[in-house]
């Protein structure tokens, strides 16, 4: 079994340091912990607009940022907020914006501009159920939006998906580093449960190092004027800009993929799930193992870049994969692309703000393993887009590697 520290989010702290951290834990609400993590990570400016279920993040920032003499602005809209962030980030400031699903839709425009112009920023989406105004319950139905098509144009944004409040705090610091290293917006997505829940967290924190930027707008004193822009009306020049972006995305895909492997060493089946769904899966896996089903968890931590190579390798020795999401089945498309038919891929999800219970997931697991053993699957409550497809070549074993690629 892998400990949490072996999964690539411990940032090289020693066991003694980690133990000291465990002793100095405090109980914090997810939204507030994420806000405080941003503060500890050196966030210079925060811009926001109230929306449930992330309002506490804005409120925490309102109090703390002003206390610290940093910048907080409650904008007139999510459009206002993200464009303020664009302006502040263009000067080299470390900037964060947060919202929830409908507000994130409004931010798509500026995200595209920031991706195109290479402006770093961290955007937090505490996801709620859609479409439209939807509801305020927890959801992962913004996976497509985050990983495939937020705004217009050929661009990608690294997307980090924590499964606990403590991990959200660690990933937030990484987000700033990634944003600045690659000059790109970075998204952190968590469903409403992680925003509203409380967990013990370690507040002693590592602030990412600051670098001088040779692109930041500071006034053209003693140097040529700088321009931050995404427009290029000459197709040749614009294609070059796009090729540079694609090169950047390949670099990100090469260096930043993160995932967790849990109980996969002897597994015949795997659940692929992220965020809250992965925690439900853990409990379901524990129950399944009590019943003799050898199953483990593959948890993507970066949704883009998706850990496709690792999953592909794993799929060679599995009898089947169950993808669990708080959606109609979005990530499952990436799972199937990675698996390429090497084993059956089933799906179980809930929508509208509902979360599958561990027993529900256990039922879907039994269906998958039962199907594999050619017994009729029991009926499972919830939305299934199972479309179990059997590969016409047998699954075979292969070496498994965990950790950061």
- Which residues from 292-351 bind another protein, rule CB under 8 A? none
Contact region with another protein (CB under 8 A), list: 245-253, 278-286, 333-341, 383-391: 278-286
Distance between CA atoms of residues 172 and 195, nearest Å: 14
CB atoms within 10 A of CB 10: 15
Contact with another protein (CB under 8 A): which of 98, 263, 276, 330? 276
Per CB under 8 A, contacts with another protein among 104-123 are: 109-110, 113, 117
Contact region for another protein (CB under 8 A) — 32-40, 234-242, 283-291, 327-335?
283-291
Smallest distance from the beta carbon of 335 to another protein, in angstroms? 21
Question: Nearest-CA neighbor of 266 among 289, 291, 284?
Answer: 289
Between the alpha carbon of residue 118 and those of residues 107, 209, 216, 235, 345, the distances in Å are: 16, 19, 11, 19, 37
Return the number of the residue (153 or 398) whose C-beta is nearest another protein: 153
Q: CA–CA separation, 167 vs 162, rounded Å?
A: 5
Contacts of 359 (CB under 8 A, 6+ apart): 284, 287
Site residues for another protein, 208-267, by CB under 8 A, read 217-222, 225-231
Name the pairing type of β-strands 95-99 and 45-48. Answer: parallel
Number of residues in contact with another protein, rule: CB under 8 A?
A: 71
Question: Which of 37, 51, 58, 84 is in the footprint of another protein by CB under 8 A?
Answer: 84
Say whether residue 66 binds another protein (CB under 8 A). Answer: no
Q: Which is nearer to another protein, 37 or 97 (CB)?
A: 97
Instruction: Find the binder of another protein among 7, 39, 95, 160 (CB under 8 A).
Output: 95
Q: Strand, coil or helix: what is 25?
A: strand
The distance of Cα 342 from the centroid of its chain, to the nearest Å, equals 26
User: Using the rule CB under 8 A, which residue among 7, 34, 37, 89 binds another protein?
Assistant: 89
Distance, CA of 15 to CA of 13 (rounded, Å): 7
Binding flag, residue 47, another protein (CB under 8 A):
yes
Answer for which of 91, 144, 213, 313 binds another protein (CB under 8 A) is: 91
Whether 34 contacts 46, CB under 8 Å? no
Contacts with another protein in 354-383 (CB under 8 A)?
355-360
For another protein, which is the closer residue by CB, 84 or 338? 84
Give me the DSSP letters along 230-289.
----SHHHHHHHHHHHHHHHHHHHHH---EEEES-TT-SEEEE--HHHHHHHHHHHHHHH
Interaction pattern, residues 151-190, with another protein; x per rule: CB under 8 A: -------------x--------------------------
Pick from 59, 183, 283, 333 the residue near another protein by CB under 8 A: 283
Choices 129-137, 204-212, 310-318, 383-391; region in contact with another protein by CB under 8 A: 129-137
């Amino acid at each position: 079994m892998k400990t949490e520290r072996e999964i690539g989010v411990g940032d090289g702290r020693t066991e003694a340091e980690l133990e000291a951290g465990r002793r100095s834990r405090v109980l914090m609400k997810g939204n507030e912990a994420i806000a405080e993590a941003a503060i500890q990570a050196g966030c210079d400016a925060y811009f926001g607009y109230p929306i449930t279920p992330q309002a506490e993040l804005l409120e925490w920032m309102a109090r703390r940022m002003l206390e610290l003499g940093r910048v907080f602005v409650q904008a007139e809209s999510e459009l206002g907020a993200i464009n303020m962030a664009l302006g502040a980030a263009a000067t080299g400031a470390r900037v964060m914006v947060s919202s929830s699903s409908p507000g994130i839709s409004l931010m798509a425009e500026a995200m595209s501009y920031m991706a195109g112009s290479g402006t770093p920023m961290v955007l937090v989406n505490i996801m709620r159920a859609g479409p439209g105004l939807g509801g305020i319950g927890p959801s992962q139905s913004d996976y497509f939006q985050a990983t495939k098509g937020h705004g217009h144009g050929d661009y990608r944004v690294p997307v980090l998906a924590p499964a606990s409040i403590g991990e959200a705090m660690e990933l937030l610091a990484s987000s700033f580093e990634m944003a600045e290293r690659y000059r790109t917006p970075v998204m952190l997505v968590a469903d409403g449960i992680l925003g509203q829940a409380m967990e013990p967290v370690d507040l002693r924190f590592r602030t990412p190092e600051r670098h001088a930027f040779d692109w930041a707008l500071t006034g053209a004193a003693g140097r040529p004027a700088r321009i931050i822009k995404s427009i290029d009306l000459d197709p040749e020049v614009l294609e070059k800009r796009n090729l540079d972006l694609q090169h950047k995305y390949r670099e990100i895909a090469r260096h930043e993929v993160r995932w967790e492997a849990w109980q996969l060493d002897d597994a015949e089946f795997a659940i692929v799930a992220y965020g809250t769904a992965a925690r439900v899966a853990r409990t379901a896996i524990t129950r399944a193992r009590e019943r003799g089903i050898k199953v483990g968890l593959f948890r993507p931590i970066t949704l883009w870049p998706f850990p496709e190579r690792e999953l592909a390798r794993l799929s060679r020795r599995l009898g089947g994969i169950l993808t669990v999401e708080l959606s109609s089945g979005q990530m499952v498309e990436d799972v199937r692309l990675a698996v390429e038919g090497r084993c059956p891929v089933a799906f179980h999800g809930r929508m509208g703000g509902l979360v599958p219970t561990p027993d529900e997931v256990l039922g879907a697991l039994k269906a998958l393993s039962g199907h594999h053993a050619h017994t009729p699957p029991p009926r499972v409550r919830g939305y299934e887009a199972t479309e179990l497809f059997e590969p016409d070549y047998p699954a075979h074993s292969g070496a498994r590697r965990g950790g950061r690629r």
